[in-house]
């Protein structure tokens, strides 16, 4: 059976598999024995491994950290790297984020396009090649990660125990071919306050954001009952009216005032598509208080150096190169109380720059304000030249299946492609389609799911047969 005919004949199976996988709320949870990232992620991993086994593949679970599904033979191995973990869904969905409902030929749900739909499409593409009768002279291994959205502990553990593919793809970006990915740096600005530190604005707690790689859509401040709450309420209303920023104000039973800043979520690699709820709260707070206490100083540092900026201008990080464009920055998380403050920043820097150069500017500036800088996560940039055999093969396949011209490009997002040598991101979002990763109402179009599977099948055949 031909590759395209196989994919189309399994349309219903593929849709069902995607819905069942998306319905698993595989947000990173508390570790359990054999389930290092929580029971839901373990359930998602086991689902894919069992599906692969039923389809006749060899499968292996690597202690719950990751797994793989494999076929073929030969000394060389092609890797297809996907992830089954998802970011928290956030609020404001039209359809249940784990309902996996289909409306207007779109399959809605957190992870539908990032990265569960593409993972299922890649698995069925492998099955198409396996059953096609085409000669296969390499192994093909679908590697299932479970910690891509957090710290990549999954792949570190996996590759300490399993061989590295010789080349590969990750269907976790855009078409045609992504051959350059910016470096990713997650840092924390930390400050300990003196015991019972006084602040003139009456702020007792501030919290916002769920992950560094998400533009936060919510930030909450609690002002204690001793603060001048009437002035705060009137000030927030004036500030909201003058800026267009959205706030909600409520009172707790103990008299504390709760202020919620409301933004728009987005992936941190494209912060311009969201609206930062933490940044707009800082913009308001920076104008409060006449005294210069430790908490006020910390808030002003964050506002003056980061605030609503997305290119790091005030930190001296407004750099770019021709290969990958401008550095981007996202203030992803914040937690402040009367004892300490922590703000977590996601930085995506151009491929021709070094982590050390970026860090040096940040640390020098923070030190002047007595703020500690800690590196939480780091991923080096990826760059595979356009004339590389892998890039050329994938561009041929893309043009053959879509009829559209192919080209190589750079992104700010970070995919598993950078985990191995000679790998690129390939799909799954088509040109002109919206970037829905980490946003509410994430979906994958059914026809795009099918076309992805066809493209992956032809790509696999091109790279491992003959």
Query: Active-site residues: which are they?
Result: 85, 148
d(CA 460, CA 456): 6
User: Which of 245, 254, 198 has the alpha carbon at shortest distance from 219?
Assistant: 245
Nearest 10 degrees: Cα torsion 77, 81, 84, 87: 160
Instruction: Name residues whose C-beta falls within 8 Å of residue 251's C-beta, 6 or more positions apart in sequence.
Output: 229, 257, 258
Contact yes or no for 224/172 (Cβ under 8 A): no
190: tokens are 């930390």
Residue 27 bridge partners (DSSP): 86
Contact yes or no for 4/121 (Cβ under 8 A): no
User: Which of 313, 304, 258, 264 has the alpha carbon at shortest distance from 283?
Assistant: 304
Residue 205 bridge partners (DSSP): 222, 337
DSSP state of 456: H
> Please, how many CA atoms are within 13 Å of residue 19, restricted to the half-sphere of its CB?
16
78: tokens are 């092609």
Contact yes or no for 380/152 (Cβ under 8 A): no
Q: How far is CA 280 from CA 25, 213, 247, 320, in A?
A: 30, 18, 9, 26
């Amino acid at each position: 059976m031909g590759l395209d005919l196989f994919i189309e004949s399994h349309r219903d199976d593929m849709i069902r598999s995607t819905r069942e996988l998306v319905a698993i709320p595989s947000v990173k949870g508390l570790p359990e024995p054999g389930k290092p990232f929580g029971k839901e992620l373990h359930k998602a991993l086991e689902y894919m491994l069992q599906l692969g086994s039923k389809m006749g593949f060899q499968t292996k679970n690597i202690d719950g950290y990751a797994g793989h599904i494999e076929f073929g033979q030969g000394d060389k191995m092609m890797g297809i790297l996907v992830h089954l973990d998802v970011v928290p869904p956030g609020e404001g969905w039209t359809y249940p984020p784990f309902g996996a409902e289909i409306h207007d030929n779109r399959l809605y749900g957190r992870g539908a396009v990032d990265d569960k739909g593409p993972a299922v499409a890649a698995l069925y593409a492998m099955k198409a090649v396996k059953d096609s009768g085409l000669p296969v002279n390499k192994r093909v291994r679908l590697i299932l990660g479970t910690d891509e959205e957090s710290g990549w502990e999954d792949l570190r553990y996996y590759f300490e125990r399993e061989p590295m593919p010789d080349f590969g793809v990750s269907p976790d970006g855009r078409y045609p071919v992504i051959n350059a990915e910016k470096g990713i740096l997650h840092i924390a600005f930390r400050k300990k306050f003196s015991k019972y530190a006084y602040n003139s604005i009456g702020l007792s707690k501030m919290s916002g954001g769920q992950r560094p790689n998400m533009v936060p859509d919510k930030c909450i401040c609690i002002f204690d009952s001793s603060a001048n709450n009437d002035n705060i309420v009137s000030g927030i209303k004036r500030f909201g009216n003058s800026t267009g920023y959205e706030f909600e104000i409520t009172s707790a039973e103990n008299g504390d005032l709760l202020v919620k800043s409301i933004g728009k979520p987005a992936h941190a690699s494209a912060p311009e598509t969201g609206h930062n709820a933490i940044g707009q709260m800082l913009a308001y707070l920076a104008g409060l208080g006449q005294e210069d206490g430790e908490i006020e100083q910390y808030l002003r540092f964050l506002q003056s150096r980061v605030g609503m900026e997305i290119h790091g201008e005030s930190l001296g990080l407004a750099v770019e190169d021709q290969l990958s464009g401008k550095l981007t920055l996202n203030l992803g998380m914040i937690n402040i109380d009367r004892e300490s403050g922590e703000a977590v920043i996601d930085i995506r820097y151009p491929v021709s720059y070094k982590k050390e150069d970026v860090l040096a500017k940040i640390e020098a500036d923070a030190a002047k304000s007595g703020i500690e800088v800690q590196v939480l996560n780091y991923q080096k940039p990826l760059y595979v030249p356009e004339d590389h055999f892998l890039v050329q093969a994938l561009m041929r396949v893309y043009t053959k299946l879509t009829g559209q011209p192919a080209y190589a490009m750079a992104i700010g997002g970070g995919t598993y492609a950078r985990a191995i040598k000679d790998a690129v991101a390939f799909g799954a979002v088509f040109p002109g389609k919206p970037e829905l990763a980490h946003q509410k109402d994430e979906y994958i179009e059914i026809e795009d799911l099918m076309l992805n599977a066809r493209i992956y099948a032809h790509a696999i055949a091109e790279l491992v047969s003959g």
